[in-house]
Amino acid sequence: MQSQSNRLITPVLVASSLILMIGFGIRASFGVFQIPIADQFAWARSDFSMAIAIQNLAWGIGQPIFGAIAEKIGDRKAILLGVAFYAVGLILSSYAITPGQHQFYALFVGFGVAGTGFGVILAIVGRAASDEHRSMAMGIATAVGSIGQIIGPLLAEYLLGMFNWASVFLIFAGVIIASLSLLPILKAPEIDTKPALEETLTQILKKAFYDPSFSLIFLGFFSCGFQLAFVTAHFPAFVTEMSAQISGDGILASMGVTTTSALGAFAIALIGGANIIGTITAGYLGKRFQKKNLLAVIYTCRTIIAILFILLPMTPLTVVTFSITMGLLWLASVPLTSGLVGYIYGLRFMGTLYGIVFFSHQLGSFLGVWLGGALYDIYGNYTVVWWVGIGASAFSAIVHLPVKEIPILQRTRTSLSDRIA
């Protein structure tokens, strides 16, 4: 049986991070396709956004399923299955000509993201890392995954200048298949601590479901998904339509960002870049402070930033400022939330338990993307759904405060000792 490495940077961490980067890079690019596809077929904005919403919901449903598959038959087989779903979904989507087809094929893509995403990958990283480095390793994996968010939208925008959107989907299908070359490197040790082995999946699920803290973590992750998915899917279009024009002799123009459409893609890339710093910092702080309090701070800051952005006139400066500040908080919640689940409920079934919590995130993602398109078609702008996201973020800041950040086995033993005494 393999032992956990005392090193922070390991081959498992590197391979895991690259798989996240590729998978999330492709996923983050979908917002860039919204206007080209809608314009080609003369669809309402809600038609393609519904496909992205379904993709996010399928991701959420698939996350605990793939977590359980990984724990049952192995991590690498689960990732292989996820890549197969991802590639098939992209290939089929490239031939879709109706909203219904795009929305149906989005199910495949969503399951593909689940099989190559946080639930499976962070469980591998968590098991491979020592207690000392676990929080930081999860932060690094999440941060490297965010590099995909920088590359994906910009690469999609670049490729759309040479190919139609369907051809770009096929190119991305080839890229996700190529990620399978990293599978031989992934080999995380099994958790062999006696208390963990004594717990069955049914037993730990029962304990988690009856624990109010698990419910609070589940509810708190909702707004993260709502805001992130809305911004990823709709922010490029939001900026394209609402931002003031870019000065021809400014810094952005010198970088090749000369249109509001390019600014929208650049904004997503900026968020991804800032997120690298944010997630690594969150991983570092997660070892030194209570994770629940850090999460409350993150959601409070998100709320304030979102309020300021919607109240101020949208200019290239406010778009860049929002992208950097929100990016610092973007996926900072992921290593903290996954780490919190692993700390309280143990690492053996972390993939399944975090997958269940992540379903809340993806339910929020579904509503964020869908409401963004639906309310845009009603009001002609994104203002109403933006305020909904602000309310959800404030709610998440509050619900994390009562979470009991104590291992559940320790709580159980303390409770038994108190009864005996």
Tokens of 66: 């793939």
| pLDDT tens sequence across 372-399 | 888 988 998 899 999 999 999 999 999 9
- pLDDT score, position 162: 92
- What percentage of the chain exceeds 70 in pLDDT? 93
Average pLDDT in the 313-335 region? 93
Q: What is the pLDDT of residue 420?
A: 55
- Secondary structure (3-state) at 16: helix
pLDDT beyond 60 at 192: no
pLDDT confidence of residue 323: 95
Locate all alpha helices (DSSP H) within 243-349, ordered by sequence. Answer: 251-254, 260-286, 291-311, 316-329, 333-345
Spatial distance between the Cα atoms of 152 and 388, rounded to a whole number of angstroms: 27
- For the residues of 55-106, what is the DSSP string, one character each? HHHHHHHHHHHHHHHHHHH-HHHHHHHHHHHHHHHHHHHHT--SHHHHHHHH
Q: What is the chain's mean pLDDT, rounded?
A: 87
Tell me the average pLDDT across 35-58: 83
Alpha-carbon distance 16 to 173, whole Å?
19
Q: To the nearest 5 percent, what fractions of the chain are helix, strand and coil?
A: 80, 0, 20
Q: Which of 368, 399, 396, 363 is nearest to 384 (CA)?
A: 368
11: exposed, middle or buried (Cβ count in 10 Å: 0-12, 13-18, 19+): middle
> What six digits make up the tokens of 223?
């707004």
Q: Mind listing the domains of the chain with CATH numbers?
A: 11-415 (1.20.1250.20)
> Cβ distance 344 to 408 under 8 Å?
yes
305 has pLDDT over 70: yes
What percentage of the chain reaches a pLDDT higher than 90? 40
Instruction: Please check whether residue 127 is in contact with residue 190, taking contact to mean a CB–CB distance below 8 angstroms.
Output: yes
pTM beyond 0.85: the answer is: no
Residue 416 banded pLDDT, cuts 50, 70, 90: very low
DSSP 8: S
| pLDDT band at residue 321 using 50, 70 and 90 as cut-offs | very high
Is 197's pLDDT higher than 60?
A: no
Q: What's residue 391's pLDDT?
A: 94
| Average pLDDT score over residue span 351-374 | 87
Mean pLDDT value across residues 8-35: 89
What's the mean pLDDT in 164-170? 94
At 185 the pLDDT is: 87
Q: What is the CA radius of gyration of the chain?
A: 21
pLDDT grade, residue 4 (50/70/90)? Answer: low
Average pLDDT over residues 8-31: 90
Contacts of 60 (CB under 8 A, 6+ apart): 110, 114, 225, 358, 359, 360, 361, 362, 363, 365, 366
User: Please, which pLDDT band fits residue 123 given cuts at 50, 70 and 90?
Assistant: confident
